[in-house]
Structure formats: C-alpha cells, structure tokens
Amino acid sequence: METGIIKKYEDLTISDDFMFGIIMRQAKYCKPFLETVLDIKIKHIEYPKVQEVINLDVKAKSIRLDVYVDDGENTVYNIEMQNISKPDQPKRMRYYQDLIDLDLIDKGQSYKELKNNIIIFVCTFDPFKLGRHYYSFENICVEDHGLRLNDGTKKIILNTKGIIDDITINLKTLLDFIDGSAPLDSFTRELSDAVEDARHSKKWRVQYMNLQLAYLDKLDEGKEIGEKIGKEIGEKIGRENTQKENAKRMIAAKKIPLEDISFYTGLSLTEVETLKKELSAQ
C-alpha cells in the first residue's frame, strides 16, 4: 500500500492504487484510459497476467505492477498510480522499464524483437513544480534535440494538480476526476460507477483486508526490528560511555600508563590519547 495510510475499503477512490488497479484491470476502462492519455486509438488490449509480477532472479527485487497491458500492436504499457512524491521516482520508472524489457527477453525474445514500452505514472502531485499536467520523456540527442534515438521507450508522468492549459479537455476531465472532482463526461461517469460497484465487491474487500493485514504485519515486524536495534545501539552507547568515564578516572590518577588504560577499558590507544588531550584542555 503505497501511501502507508490505511483507509477503509469503502473510502477508497480511483486515486488509491488498489482501487485504480481493480478498475484498470478491466479492458473496457483501461483501453479508453490509454486512448485519452495518449490521444490515439487502440484496437484492443490484452493482459499478460491479471497483475504482472516480475522477478527475474531470486536475488533480484521483484516488482508488482498496478496495470500491465499489451495492445497486440507491438507496444506494452505499464500504468502506475502515485500518491507520494519520492525523489527516486525517475529511477523507479527506469527500473520498471528495464525489468519489463528483460522479462520479455527472458521469455525467449531477441532484443531486436523488443516491443515498444510506455511507462505511465499518474501522480496526484506535481513532481517537477512546473504546473504541467503532462510530462513526457524520450531519449533524444543532447547536441541535437531533433535527433531521436528511437529505442521504442517512453515515460509519461501525469499530474492531476496541473494548472497549465497543456492537454485535451477529455484528459483534463479525467485527471480532475482522479483528483477528486465530480465526473463530467461519459467516461468519468463510467469510472465513477465502476468504483462504486467495486466498493460493493466482497472479493475485492477481502483481498484489500488481506493486504492490510500483510501491511500491518510488516509494520509490526519493522517496529520490533527498530526496537531491537535501538536497544542494541543504546546498550552500545552505554558501554562506550562507561568505558570512557573509567578511562578518564584512570587518566586523572596520572599513575597508570596509557597502554594499560587501553587494555583495561577496551578502548583503543588512540581513543585514550584523545581523552587525555581533552582532559588536559579543560
């Protein structure tokens, strides 16, 4: 659960990644969503898996994609809902894009047969603070911006909080709806009805509750680990403070060699010499 905030299932909106994933796993909503975002027509879309999980190696970091679809026309799309601004988001997009490509190759394709790859992040904040609704990125030549690498990759970041007139009215209506505004056209009304229907789904409610429990278990586990580490650090600091106080008293006696003080306190000779200098300066 991306936000770290546990909401009641009936309070979820399309801007919550769990609900967004439910709705966008249905082609009748995902297809027009992509068409609205990209301003193109798509014949149909396919879902390689209900919710793709990519884990190429047991040691690798697996990723669970909110929405992963194939248009059957040599392009795959990954759509993710983002509610928290994180400094690593560009790297996250790069990671998703690379793993999707590697996953395709892992299934036996040559790199020459790699499909076009479009990553779309729907953000409920402006990651670049420029007021745009739509930020798109492709690989171009730094010395000549008219020269494109044409490697088939594209990254799109949508900002529901945009203020610039830079998108179509249909996309503006869609982003406003995701941001919490009332539905104003046929598509956003369909999405609103779909969200309401999903809220009454026992299947999705149970899955969400299971996800909550798993999330709470991780929180408890993290808390226990944090408390254990904190205790260990505290005990270590306590031991170090005791060692230093003992060393200071021995140094103040002026009859014990520094090497012996180091041996009896467990401090290094350098630490003992530093303590002696500090005492002499007082």
| Closest by CA position to 126, among listed 179, 63, 173 | 179
Q: What is d(CA 105, CA 114) in angstroms, rounded to the nearest whole number?
A: 7
Mean pLDDT, rounded, for 60-85? 76
Considering only 89-98, 112-121, 233-242, which range has the smallest mean pLDDT? 233-242
Residue 92 pLDDT exceeds 70: yes
pLDDT at residue number 57: 43
33-47 in b/e burial notation, b at 16+ Cβ within 10 A?
bbebbbeeebeebeb
Residue 127 pLDDT exceeds 60: yes
Mean pLDDT, rounded, for 207-223? 63
What's the chain's average pLDDT?
A: 80
pLDDT at residue number 15: 92
Amino acid of residue 199:
R
pLDDT at residue number 223: 54
Most confident of 51-65, 82-96, 247-261: 82-96
Mean pLDDT, rounded, for 119-132? 94
For the chain, the domains span 9-200, 220-281
pLDDT at residue number 208: 80
DSSP-assigned letters across all residues of 172-229? HHHHHHHTTPPP-SHHHHHHHHHHHHHHT-HHHHHHHHHHHHHHHHHHHHHHHHHHHH
Most confident of 19-33, 56-70, 98-112, 249-263: 19-33
Contact 26, 194 (CB under 8 A): yes
DSSP classification of residue 43? S
Q: Model-level pTM greater than 0.75?
A: no
Q: What is d(CA 155, CA 208) in angstroms, rounded to the nearest whole number?
A: 29
Report H helices in 45-122. 89-106
Mean pLDDT, rounded, for 117-145? 93
Residue 53 pLDDT exceeds 90: no
What does each C-alpha distance from 180 to 13, 29, 90, 173, 192 come to in angstroms?
8, 18, 25, 11, 11
Mean pLDDT, rounded, for 133-156? 92
pLDDT at residue number 234: 65
